[in-house]
Amino acid sequence: MAAKEISVKKYVVRLSGEEREQLEALIRRQERSAAAAEGADTFEGRCVGNR
């Protein structure tokens, strides 16, 4: 049986300078939050990704 391909739609979005800054700030906050959560998992002795 052939593997089913997953289609992913991609869109080009044009942002103003201010919108880009807001988006980049949001991404940085999310990355820090994810890193903190991963650090907490490691600290508690759990293997990240193998829950």
pLDDT at 33: 83
- State the virtual CA torsion across 28, 32, 35, 36 in degrees, nearest 10: -170
pLDDT at 37: 75
Exposure letters 13-28 (e unless 16+ CB within 10 A, then b):
eeeeeeeeeeeeeeee
Tokens found for residue 6: 């997953």
Tokens found for residue 46: 């759990």
pLDDT at 11: 94
- Between vectors from CA 24 to CA 21 and to CA 26, what angle results, nearest 5°? 110
pLDDT digits (tens, 9 = 90+) for 1-51: 567 888 999 999 999 999 999 999 999 999 888 777 776 655 556 555 554
pLDDT at 42: 59
